[in-house]
Amino acid sequence: MIVDIHTHILPGVDDGAADYSEALEMARMAVADGTTHLFATPHHRDCTPLTRTEVADRVAKLQDKLDKANIPLTVIPGHEVRLYNDMLDDWAKELAGPLGNSRYVLAEPLFHHYDKHTNAMLFELFDRGYIPIMAHPERILPIQKDLSLIEPFLERGGLTQITSGSIFSSKDRLAHQTAQTMLRNGMAHIIASDAHKPYRRRPILTKAGQAAARIVGSMQAEAMISTNPAAIVQNKLISTPKIAV
């Protein structure tokens, strides 16, 4: 089972798939790469606001089209929860939510800002019984400058999701370097595509898994694209390696 926990495959919602044609093309690419399950995680802000129920309804419609097209892919609803200061207000309105029916939340820091308020929101999710998964920390400018910013989050039991392209491509040099450092230091737990289009940030995981294996070994790389994200589908706890100091 290969599972992609971060995609923008839901059509006409955010800056991801524009329509069902693009969504189905992305699905075919994912299946060709070996993916069996993926989460549809539209941005909870800065796009069409959708409640958890509305996301689930749209996912059901997409799943129906996939089934009729004989594309063997299971799509699960979720949100990419952006950590604005009023995120918890959106959570109360169900405009933000966990991955499927699990305890896991895909939480996205702001790209140019990370401070005690960011940690406070993440820790509030812990206090409510959830386990936050930080989306693409290797692309967040303050974290690129100082990885120690996320150590309290990791020590609390938080997880990180590295974007596949950050691992196998050096086009974004800082993201690539940060991803490699996080892999070496045991600070990375899941690889996901953050797929947006069939032609931009595509839903491909195995290439990143192969690149990660050269750093962390094949067993840990396999866990990052299969074992760990599969545990999210099943709502099981994920065991994590110790952070290298």
Who's near 5: CB < 8 A, 6+ residues apart?
Answer: 38, 39, 41, 78, 99, 104, 106, 133, 161, 190, 192, 229, 232
Who's near 216: CB < 8 A, 6+ residues apart?
Answer: 183, 184, 224
Q: What per-residue confidence (pLDDT) applies to 42?
A: 98
Nearest to 236 by CA among 91, 100, 117, 40: 100
The amino acid present at 112, given as its one-letter code, is H
| Chain-centre distance for alpha carbon 27 | 16
Who's near 227: CB < 8 A, 6+ residues apart?
Answer: none
Domain with 34, as residue range(s), is 2-233
Q: How confident is the model at residue 49 (pLDDT cuts 50, 70, 90)?
A: very high
| Residue 56: its H or E element | helix 52-68
Q: Does residue 240 sit within a domain?
A: no
Q: What per-residue confidence (pLDDT) applies to 171?
A: 83
Q: Does residue 154 sit within a domain?
A: yes
**21 neighbors 56 (Cβ within 8 angstroms):** no
Q: Does residue 241 sit within a domain?
A: no
Domain tally for the chain?
1
Q: Does residue 243 sit within a domain?
A: no
Q: Does residue 73 sit within a domain?
A: yes
- Give whole-number Cα distances, 132 to 187, 201, 213, 235, in Å: 14, 23, 25, 13
Q: Does residue 124 sit within a domain?
A: yes
pLDDT tens string 73-117: 999 999 999 999 999 999 999 999 999 999 999 999 999 999 989
| Percent of the chain scoring above 70 in pLDDT | 98
pLDDT tens string 160-215: 999 999 999 878 899 999 999 999 999 999 999 999 999 988 999 999 999 999 99
Q: What per-residue confidence (pLDDT) applies to 244?
A: 58
Q: Does residue 202 sit within a domain?
A: yes
CATH code, 178: 3.20.20.140
Q: Does residue 242 sit within a domain?
A: no
What tokens does 16 get?
């991801």
Q: What per-residue confidence (pLDDT) applies to 169?
A: 85
CA distance 163 to 32: 19
What pTM, to 2 d.p., does this model score?
0.96
Evaluate if residue 242 carries a pLDDT over 80. no
